[in-house]
Structure 1
Amino acid sequence: MNLKKYLLFLVTAAIMVLVAACGGGTEESAGSENTETEEAPAENTDSEEIEEVTTLEGSVVVDGSGTVYPLMSVLAEEYMITEQENVSVEVSRAGTSAGFGKFLVENGTDFNNASRHIKDEEQAEADAVGFEVKEMKVALDGLTFVINKENDWATDLTQEELIRIFKHDGGVTKWSDLRPEFPDEEIHPMGPNENHGTYEFFYESILEKEDLVDGVNLQQEYSTLVNLVSEDVNGIAFFGFGYYVNNQDKLAAVKVDFGNGPVEPSLETIGEDADYAPFTRPVFTYLNVDMAKAKPQVLDFALFVANHSDVFAGETGFAPLPEAELQEYVEFLEGLK
């Protein structure tokens, strides 16, 4: 009996060792599975951290050209709605030159929109303050001459006739001075004032720095020019194509003969190699590069402008730039990260 009990004890012990060994394997597998399960939240945490980094806040301040304003304001609105709802992009329109006055100072605006190139003396101001300026083309604009809708005689004019209307020694005060069949009525020329790059483009590139005619009515606000011409059958003014597009119900655009027949300004004819080329000009925004390096929201908005200005150019009255040209700006801005 004692021997049997002893043998039974040995068999029972062997079974218990075997069960313990199997149970140990199960616990080890479970432990391994738990380890994998515990690692998953760590990946989610990393993802959340990335989202926090790309969610921006703060402000971006843009001023300058009234011509570029419609395009930049649409870009700003789209950016705040679809990209960064916690970033406030403030776009104003003091005019190109007045805008540079706010841009070329310490802690000035982040961007200055311009309807002309920066001048040497303006660049010198940036150098004196000590920050880098980056010129970015955003679109192409066509300088457009507008008349009252009831004016049915000056619908087609030559480039030379338009210059004579606005030039000091053009010899023109009445419509009949241009062509004898035109009315014997005084012409009322109008345009934007010296704060605007459009004025400077017209004065420097079209009039070749000749004085404007006596009595020309220069205004700060483009909306004022729209109203003045819409109420004056003898009025004629110049500004960017976009302002004409947005006021076609009030104004008519003059078709310009550059030597090969009248050309109507349009998105199809505006271009540096297109039919309206003599009155085509690039428009810009200028970026304070130091601000872009210091403030992530400024750099992010600059990238949005470079990637999307061609998308919104047409609807705001501008001809888009070639994609390759815009891509150069994207590459530059990516290099600032």
Structure 2
Amino acid sequence: MSRDTTASLPAGLGRRDFLAAASVALSGGLAGCTGVFAAEGNNVNIAGSSTVFPVTEAIASAFSEENPTVNLSLSKTGTGGGFANFFCVGRTDINNASRAIADAETEQCGTNDITPLEFPVATDALTVVANPEADWIDCLTIEQLREIWRADGAQRWSDINEEWPDQEFELYGAATTSGTFDYFNEAVLGEELNHRSDYYATERDRTIVQGVQGSEAALGYFGFSYYSENPDSIKAISIDNGDGCIEPSIETAMSGEYTPLSRPLFIYVAKESLAEPAVQDFTRFYMEQAATELVSDVGYVPTTEEQRDENLEKLEAAIAEVSE
């Protein structure tokens, strides 16, 4: 299999880019796979969403401590990039996803005889962030957020509120291959409006953090986990969806108050890869750990015990089918 340099593994930028566990590989595994399905022996290959990455990273590290002979390869490619370039063409066993799989992606997987199995693993409070020096802003309505991020929308802070500075926005957000981009588009802009293109688009959430840290006029958005790592250097903006300003947090995402920017996070597992014991063991471990404080420790809401049990039941049924 030839190397796809457009989706190569990202350079290291700290804990969010490389796992602490030495047995979890973050380079080489995706490019070097052979055969129809990615799993071979004790290898498990994972790509996809940068938002889900911290959850999978933490669970992979814990799994590796107990299973040092299993090689895990983990990369950030974006939800859509992961489906299109890796998962649905048989190069990975698991795709992290910050949105549900699209019909076209399911069709692509089917063309390659890959059956994607969906497992909810957490809930995220998608977070809009500003520079702490931007003392004029603590809350935005959905209408204001829409005006900032729509194509041909506002260009300056004063376009939103005449009392705000007459400064052009410096905007940072998700790339178009990202599930975060898709979800933000749907939740904020809807079907009638297009997301603006004149912003810094990236799959590297830490780049968004750095951009917002560096400019008083900056605004960005990403998963809550990346804000929770940097609460003193960037400011989370509350969102008013008609019922007052609600701050993004694990608690408001769990209660359902933080709308419309709270969202489910998923992993998709290739059913065919579950024929491999390593993929079976890792996925089973993942479902169990997704209901624990391991998920809340990285800034997301864990699954409920009921959801955990539903995930495990679905998983065991699939394993039984491919083992027949």
Aligned with residue 61 of structure 1, among 37, 45, 55: 45
Matches within 5 A, 1:47-126: 58-82=42-66, 84-100=67-83, 101-106=85-90, 108-126=91-109
What does residue 182 of structure 2 align with? 200
| Distance in 1 between residues matched to 2:190 and 2:183, nearest whole Å | 9
Aligned with residue 220 of structure 2, among 237, 254, 260: 237
Residue type of the alignment partner of 1:77? S
Residues 130 and 219, structure 2, Cα contact 8 Å, conserved in 1? yes
| Distance in 2 between residues matched to 1:267 and 1:185, nearest whole Å | 32
Shift of 1:204: 2.6
Shift of 1:214: 5.2
Q: Where does the alignment leave 5 or more consecutive residues of structure 2 unmatched?
A: 1-40
Aligned with residue 211 of structure 2, among 228, 236, 251: 228
SS for the counterpart of 1:140 is strand
| Distance in 1 between residues matched to 2:113 and 2:201, nearest whole Å | 35
Aligned with residue 257 of structure 2, among 275, 298, 304: 275
Report which stretch shifted further, 125-134 or 299-308.
125-134
Residue type of the alignment partner of 1:211? N
Shift of 1:212: 2.3
Residues 103 and 109, structure 1, Cα contact 8 Å, conserved in 2? yes
SS for the counterpart of 1:104 is helix
Q: Between Structure 1 and Structure 2, whose CA radius of gyration is higher?
A: 1
Shift of 1:95: 0.9
| Distance in 1 between residues matched to 2:305 and 2:94, nearest whole Å | 22
What does residue 9 of structure 1 align with? none
Residue 131 (str. 1) matches residue 114 (str. 2): yes
Residues 267-307 of structure 1: per-residue CA shift (max 9 Å, x gap): 10013x521031111111000111112x1010111111111
| Distance in 1 between residues matched to 2:108 and 2:142, nearest whole Å | 36
What does residue 53 of structure 1 align with? none
SS for the counterpart of 1:249 is coil
Aligned with residue 331 of structure 1, among 302, 305, 313: 313
Query: Per the alignment, do residues 128 and 214 of structure 1 end up closer, same or farther by CA in structure 2, a change over 3 Å counting?
Result: closer
Residue type of the alignment partner of 1:167? R
CA RMSD across the alignment = 1.4
Residues 78 and 179, structure 2, Cα contact 8 Å, conserved in 1? yes
Q: Where does the alignment leave 5 or more consecutive residues of structure 1 unmatched?
A: 1-56
What does residue 183 of structure 1 align with? 165
Residues 28-48 of structure 1: per-residue CA shift (max 9 Å, x gap): xxxxxxxxxxxxxxxxxxxxx
Residues 191 and 238, structure 1, Cα contact 8 Å, conserved in 2? yes
SS for the counterpart of 1:320 is coil
Shift of 1:169: 4.0
Residue 300 (str. 1) matches residue 281 (str. 2): yes
SS for the counterpart of 2:107 is helix
Q: TM-score, normalised by structure 1?
A: 0.79
Residues 129 and 220, structure 2, Cα contact 8 Å, conserved in 1? yes
SS for the counterpart of 1:93 is coil
Considering fraction of residues, name the structure with more helix. 1
Residues 165 and 189, structure 1, Cα contact 8 Å, conserved in 2? no
| Distance in 1 between residues matched to 2:52 and 2:108, nearest whole Å | 23
SS for the counterpart of 1:135 is strand
